[in-house]
Amino acid sequence: MSEIVTLQAYLDRWAGTDAGRKAVAGAVRTIATTGVGIADLVARGPLEEGLAKIRGTDPNAGGDAQKELDVIAEERIVTALKGTEVAFLASEESEELIPVNTSGRLVVAVDPLDGSSNIDTNVSVGTIYSILPYDAAAHANPAAAVMRTGSHQVAAGFLAYGPATILVSTLGEGTQVFVYDRDKADFFLARDQVEIPAETKEYGVNQSNVRQWHAPMAAYIADCLAGKDGPRAKDFNMRWVGSMVADAFRIFTRGGVYVYPSDKRKGYENGRLRLIYEANPVAFLTEQAKGAATDGKTRILDIVPHHIHQRIPLVFGSKAEVEKIASYY
Ligand code: AHM
Ligand code: MG
């Protein structure tokens, strides 16, 4: 039987005596533990009144309606991270960086609750995080630490609150899956070194937007839909949960591609997902699992951000299929 490894043991082994790594391990452990509390709340579903209620009239920093659970999740993460070496937090729910522990050596970017439109439908939602180094002496300001290409991430991951509460994590040495065991009240390593199959016959896209797409995306999906007799010479299946964490976990499990392109709608000129706290962490996890992630043609981890909340078209998953999509652009 393979060795039973808790998240803590895995992180401790990775960190060793290195102070920088210990700080990262502490942040990951804290986000994971906070996620368990969020999962408990999500599991209460309609018993926990008002989690999906829209808060106020102002959209969040990313331009979306803010739900109660979005805000609760953010508050819990900020509070929990105070005990870590995280100096500042960039969050989908807050316009400006949030000071956490300003003497810290890390900055974290989060989508506290991905899949907000699924909160009241008993469908998986999750939390996405990206961890970057922060050096008060070297960075002109805390935002400068966040406004760097995703290739600077030291760790990234997401939690998905579904039938199982899972953590998909990378520390830059492959991608691991941990599962929370409710009886033992701990996360256990379920898959070390995840590998996304390079080839796939499954794509995920919000197909209701087909009339809004630009020519390359429309052509790619049309060729998939043409099936065996079309230019791709194979039948494709389609899956779309509408919570990126759930769609991503499926891809980490059996391959596939996730596509959220730019389209002609106002506000979707750069797609829907946010670069810093959605695309970058997922791209890091994907590459560490031997997949690929682009904005259609350019590698996500090479894109220099110009705004904390900027959107980016996102394609990730099975490498050969991501490359195929790039050939349409
Ligand atoms: P959110 O962070 O506000 O929930 O937005 C991101 C979500 C992704 O989880 C999901 O893949 C996508 O938006 C769904 O978009 P759409 O509702 O347009 O299909
Ligand atoms: Mg969100």
Domain boundaries of the chain, sorted by first residue: 7-191, 202-328
CATH code of 202-328, in short, is 3.40.190.80
Handedness of CA 216, 222, 225, 227 (dihedral sign): negative
3-state secondary structure the chain: CCCCCEHHHHHHHHHCCCHHHHHHHHHHHHHHHHHHHHHHHHHCHHHCCCCCCEEEEEECCCCCEEEHHHHHHHHHHHHHHCCCCEEEEEECCCCCCEECCCCCCEEEEEEEEECHHHHHHCCCEEEEEEEEECCCCCCCCHHHHHCCCHHHCCEEEEEEECCCEEEEEECCCCEEEEEEECCCCEEEEEECCCCCCCCCCEEECCHHHHHHECHHHHHHHHHHHCHHHCCCCCCCEECCCCCHHHHHHHHHHHCCEEEECCECCCCCECECCEHHHHHHHHHHHHHHCCCEEECCCCEHHHCCCCCCCCECCEEEECHHHHHHHHCCC
Identity of the amino acid at 157: G
User: Going by CA atoms, what residue is nearest to atom 17 of ligand 1?
Assistant: 242
User: Going by CA atoms, what residue is nearest to atom 16 of ligand 1?
Assistant: 242
> Is the minimum distance from the CB of 114 to ligand 1 under 6 angstroms?
yes
> Is the minimum distance from the CB of 64 to ligand 1 under 6 angstroms?
yes
User: Nearest Cα to 68, choosing from 79, 46, 52?
Assistant: 52
Q: Atom of ligand 1 at shortest distance to CA of 208? A: 19
Give the CA angle between residues 204, 252, 150 to the nearest 5°. 90
Q: What is the pLDDT of residue 51?
A: 87
Distances (CA, A) of 312 to 50, 114, 130: 31, 16, 16
Of the bound ligands, which one is closest to the alpha carbon of residue 117? Answer: 1
> Is the minimum distance from the CB of 8 to ligand 1 under 6 angstroms?
no
Q: Which CATH class is domain 7-191?
A: alpha beta
User: Going by CA atoms, what residue is nearest to atom 12 of ligand 1?
Assistant: 242
Q: What is the pLDDT of residue 23?
A: 98
> Is the minimum distance from the CB of 243 to ligand 1 under 6 angstroms?
yes
Residue 3 marked in a binding site:
no
Q: What is the pLDDT of residue 66?
A: 87
Q: Report how far ligand 2's centroid is from the alpha carbon of 223 (Å).
A: 32
Distance, in Å, from the CA atom of 188 to the CA atom of 27, rounded to the nearest integer, reads 17
User: Going by CA atoms, what residue is nearest to atom 18 of ligand 1?
Assistant: 206
User: Going by CA atoms, what residue is nearest to atom 7 of ligand 1?
Assistant: 115
Task: Identify whether the C-beta of residue 249 lies closer than 8 Å to the C-beta of residue 201.
Answer: no
Distance, in Å, from the CA atom of 155 to the CA atom of 73, rounded to the nearest integer, reads 20
| DSSP β-bridge partners for residue 269 | 271
User: Nearest Cα to 93, choosing from 117, 107, 79, 72?
Assistant: 72
Q: What is the pLDDT of residue 65?
A: 77
> Is the minimum distance from the CB of 115 to ligand 1 under 6 angstroms?
yes
| DSSP β-bridge partners for residue 311 | 274
Q: Report how far ligand 1's centroid is from the alpha carbon of 324 (Å).
A: 24
Residue 116 marked in a binding site:
yes
Q: What is the pLDDT of residue 2?
A: 67
- Mark the ranges of the chain whose per-residue pLDDT is less than 50: 1
User: Going by CA atoms, what residue is nearest to atom 15 of ligand 1?
Assistant: 242
Ligand 1 pocket mutation pick from 130, 244, 312, 314 by most atoms within 8 angstroms of CB: 244
> Is the minimum distance from the CB of 197 to ligand 1 under 6 angstroms?
no
Q: Report how far ligand 2's centroid is from the alpha carbon of 72 (Å).
A: 12
Q: What is the pLDDT of residue 169?
A: 98
Residue 115 marked in a binding site:
yes
Distance, in Å, from the CA atom of 23 to the CA atom of 26, rounded to the nearest integer, reads 5
Q: What is the pLDDT of residue 266?
A: 96
Q: Report how far ligand 1's centroid is from the alpha carbon of 217 (Å).
A: 18
Q: What is the pLDDT of residue 69?
A: 92
Q: Atom of ligand 1 at shortest distance to CA of 92? A: 2
Q: What is the pLDDT of residue 48?
A: 84
User: Going by CA atoms, what residue is nearest to atom 11 of ligand 1?
Assistant: 244
